Amino acid sequence: MSWVLARGLSRGWGSICWDTLSGSHFSQVTPQAPWSLHYSTVNHKDEAWLVPQPSEPQRKPIRVLTPHEELFRPSPDGERDKASFVGAVQNFRQYSVHKRGHVDFIYLALRKMQEFGVERDLAVYNLLLDVFPKEVFRPRNVFQRIFVHYPRQQECGIAVLEQMERHGIMPNKDTEFLLIQIFGYKSYPMLKFLRMKLWLTRFKNINPYPIPRDLPQDPVDLAKLGLRHMEPDLSAKVTVYQMALPSDTPGAEDPTQPHIVGIQSPEQQATLAHHNPSRPVFVEGPFSLWLRNKCVYYYILRADLPPPEEKKVEEIPEEWNLYYPMKLDLDYARGNWDNYEFDIDKVTEGPIFAMCMAGAHDQGTLIKWIQGLQETNPALAQIPVVFRLARSPGELLTSSGLEGPSPLQAPPQGQEDDHPLQPLQQQGQSGVSGA
């Protein structure tokens, strides 16, 4: 059907419609106008000056306002919210009974939704669909159904649904009714609606680690959520070692007391208790964790793998009964049909003892965390703690036994890992931990 549309269009409406359908809706007006405005002035300047002048600062091209854009100006108290957006849409309707330019207005409104913060609101989308005149675009006979009836409007309807889908909003019965009223049953927006109904419901719950849509604003709650999200052990305990001091202005955190939230499971506690005090433990970080669209950083306390020599050898007791074997080690080899192991040695890394999220990325905060950990893990007092903090919060991956700085790589994001082993800190730390 799509090629029929293309052919029909090319014959019927020529290149004009071709351009519009090529999808330059969004930036149709803006780039054209300033270019033509500037072109003439530049020519004049070139003729007047023969000596190269220092380049003047780039002037932003004068933006021509799209029609109806003045409706979306912020309200007198500077607030952009749902009420003003709804008001703008209602104002458009009062312009004319015939609703000229409704397609452009709807595209403009879709673009403005982000600023007004209503892109998640189904009622607003329904209101926007309501702007279309009803019953006009419905095909009335088979010819109109074959050749896409009012293609620009159908495209616009699909654009509205597309933005809904992009933000993960499920359309409801009102949307369905509106679409039927506007476009009819056999239209492309209706088809898209059916597809959304099918696939959005199918993929609603496929995330095995779901995160609530509304993330908590409080950083301590966010840290708790993040730590619980990362830790597979359900019996792990989350401890808040330090709360951020409440300050007068909301949102400003006191730099002298950032929040510290840690997590440790009983197994990790036991492993730390059995850890050999002669081997150091490392505090590494910060690593990034994305919760929906928020990035939080966490630190881990881990140790390297013990070298193979240190593995304890189990003693074999001597046989005291010669008639029957006391210990039977029959190693029956299983056939390949039962072997579900992969033929590769997986990456093994040292044990991780605890994780934490802190408000500040400096060593002082982490020292406080270690001190808090020492209350529940008295063995930590004897173990030297080495701090390996990355300069920029990027990925710093745990190594398995490789000491020393890794070579710096080219990419400019500053995500590179570098191990600044600081011997001063180490001594300082062993001083602290010994005390």
Partner 1 sequence: MALVHKFQNSTSVLRNCLRPSAALNPFGALHFVDYSTSLQKPVAPPNRVSQQRKTEEGFQRHRQKEDALDITSPEEKPDVSFDKAIIDEAKDHFRRLKNEIVAHWIGPEGRPLHEVLLEQARVIWQFREKQDLDKWIVTSDKAIGGRSEIFLKMGKNNRSALLYGTLSSEAPQDGDSSQSGYCAMISRIRRGAFERKLPYDWSQFNTLYLRVRGDGRPWMVNIRQDTDLIQRKNQMYCYFMFTRGGPYWQEIKIPFSKFFFSNQGRIRDVQSQLILDKISSIGFTLADKVDGPFFLEIDFIGVFADPAHSEEFAYENSPALNPRL
Nearest residue (CB) to partner 1, 20 versus 181: 20
Which residues, 242 to 281, sit near partner 1 by CB under 8 A? Answer: none
Burial of 312 by CB count in 10 Å (0-12 exposed, 13-18 middle, 19+ buried)? Answer: exposed
Supply 360's token pair. 């500040």
Query: For residues 167-196, which are near partner 1 according to CB under 8 A?
Result: 167-168, 170, 188, 191-192, 194-196
Within positions 24 to 53, which residues make up the interface with partner 1, using CB under 8 A? 24-27, 31
Per CB under 8 A, the list member of 109, 281, 283, 300 interacting with partner 1 is 300
Task: For the beta carbon of residue 282, count every other beta carbon within 10 angstroms.
Answer: 21
Burial letters for 15-41: b for 16+ Cβ neighbours within 10 Å, e otherwise? eeeeebbeeebeeebeeeeeeeeeeee
Which is closer to partner 1, CB of 374 or CB of 415?
A: 415
Is 60 among the residues that bind partner 1 (CB under 8 A)? no
Could you say whether residue 76 binds partner 1 (CB under 8 A)? no
DSSP calls for 382-426: GS-EEEEE-SSSS--PPPSS--SPPPP-S-TTS--------HHHH
Cβ proximity to partner 1: between 234 and 344 the closer is 344
Binding mask 192-231 toward partner 1 (x if CB under 8 A, else -) reads x-xxx-xxxxxxxxxxxxxxxx------------x--xxx
Q: Which stretch binds partner 1 (CB under 8 A): 126-134, 318-326, 345-353, 377-385?
A: 345-353
The two three-digit tokens of residue 217, written as one number: 């604003």
Q: H-type helices in 53-121, by residue range?
A: 82-93, 102-116
Amino acid at 299: Y
CB 238 within 8 A of CB 227: yes
Residues 363-422 that bind partner 1 (CB under 8 A): 394-395, 397-402, 406, 409, 411, 413, 415
Of residues 120-159, those binding partner 1 (CB under 8 A): 148, 151, 154-155, 158-159
- Considering beta carbons, is residue 326 or 397 the nearer one to partner 1? 397
Query: Is residue 15 part of the contact set for partner 1 (CB under 8 A)?
Result: no
Q: CA angle, corner 349, sides to 431 and 402, nearest 5?
A: 65
